[in-house]
Amino acid sequence: MKIGVPKETAANERRVALVPDTAGRLVKTGLEVVVEQGAGTAAAFPDDAYRAAGAGLVATPAAVFGGSDVVLKVQPPAPAEVALCREGAALVAVFQPAAERDVVAALAARNVTAFSLALLPRITRAQPMDVLSSQATVAGYKAVLLAATTAGRLFPMLVTAAGTLPPARVLVLGAGVAGLQAIATARRLGAVVSAFDVRPAVKEQVESLGAKFLLLEIAEQAEAAGGYAKQLSEETHRRELAFIGQHVKDADVVITTAAIPGKRAPILITADAVRGMKPGAVIVDLAAETGGNCEVTEPGSEVRHNGVIVLGPLNLPSTLPLHASQMYARNVSSFLLHVVRDGRLNLDFSDEIIGETCVTHAGEVRKS
């Protein structure tokens, strides 16, 4: 079976689906791996490293898509890439079917069996394949670095001949993977950190990282299947907004990470709450790609609102492409080895991992 890795074509995407080390491991299992020339260059993985790992190099995307049994990508394929796919081949990438309806329809029409790793079930067996968690780790780390370089103050407390400088006060909203990594990174930089999440179960994790957990007592269940936060009732959400509004007033930096799978990100910081913050405070909205947790966020832009700087970064993992690619490659190779048996696809749809991630098969759309 031939596994193909094309160069990513999405704007500002620097990651690659397989790094040389992981490609070499797949080759040792008996799979043939071909990589488009230059696919790993932006992530600091030169062609020679793939060649040394036993992978073949091809000159064009057509050679990858048209000659591979399974194509591995990071971003969903562009329409032109779908047209290059060999009919009956398979493709693995990360995308939400509801947001990529045209691509999904094109993949089905091309008779491509497409898998989205964004749909992996939150079960123990799937943890080595969990690309959302691995890439959220990168995003949470980079968000704090962005805040630190944007804020007009130092993060740690410093005692100097010119006097004592107090530490920055950082508030993290959402204590999932990205939020926990943001907490840990801000603490390592010397900030005083607090965190809020509607799920009381994460309190222990927050406190284990040295941060203060801000508790809002709510009557309803705030955790959905798989450990994700779920959408709250209108009344509870109003209380949540008021609670957060009180706490952002004192923050020098706010990192927001709250997301609800398959839905728009919830608004956690209103425009009024931003106006109540200190001039020079910084908000880094990691939910910008799905609408943003801050009411004034502009995805992909930096805005200033009443003296507060609001950043809406997109695709942060791609800004640290070497390690982001390494983790992604380990995730995608674990998934590949799960769905490939004896050199062919093992399409057992009763298997939760395969059944939940398969978006198109045999000309039909399975997830929309």
Q: Looking at the DSSP assignment, which residues form a beta bridge with residue 105?
A: none
Instruction: Please report, for residues 83, 357, 360, the alpha-carbon distance to residue 349 in angstroms, rounded to integers and kept in the order given.
Output: 26, 10, 12
Cβ atoms of 11 and 315 within 8 Å: the answer is: no
Cβ within 8 Å of residue 127, ≥6 positions away: 133
**Catalytic site residue from 122, 153, 187, 239:** 122
Handedness of CA 275, 277, 278, 279 (dihedral sign): negative
As a whole number of angstroms, the distance between CA 360 and CA 239 comes to: 41
As a whole number of angstroms, the distance between CA 55 and CA 72 comes to: 14
Give catalytic status of residue 127 as yes or no: yes
Give catalytic status of residue 133 as yes or no: yes
**Catalytic site residue from 50, 116, 130, 197:** 130
**Catalytic site residue from 228, 239, 334, 351:** 228
Cα angle 22, 46, 13 (rounded to 5 degrees) comes to 80
**Catalytic site residue from 125, 127, 344, 368:** 127
As a whole number of angstroms, the distance between CA 342 and CA 97 comes to: 29
Strand runs labelled E in 117-266: 158-160, 163-165, 169-173, 192-196, 212-214, 253-256
φ, ψ of residue 220 to 5 degrees: the values are: -90, 160
User: 3-state DSSP call for residue 164?
Assistant: strand
Instruction: Please report, for residues 18, 43, 57, 79, 316, the alpha-carbon distance to residue 39 in angstroms, rounded to integers and kept in the order given.
Output: 9, 9, 10, 19, 19
Cβ atoms of 257 and 283 within 8 Å: the answer is: no
Give catalytic status of residue 122 as yes or no: yes
313, two tokens: 């970064």
Q: Which residue has the tokens 């290059």?
A: 84
What's CA 179's distance to the chain center, in Å?
12
**Catalytic site residue from 133, 187, 188, 334:** 133
Strand runs labelled E in the chain: 2-5, 32-36, 56-58, 70-72, 90-93, 113-116, 158-160, 163-165, 169-173, 192-196, 212-214, 253-256, 282-285, 302-305, 308-311, 340-341, 344-345, 358-361, 364-365
* Residues designated catalytic: 122, 127, 130, 133, 228
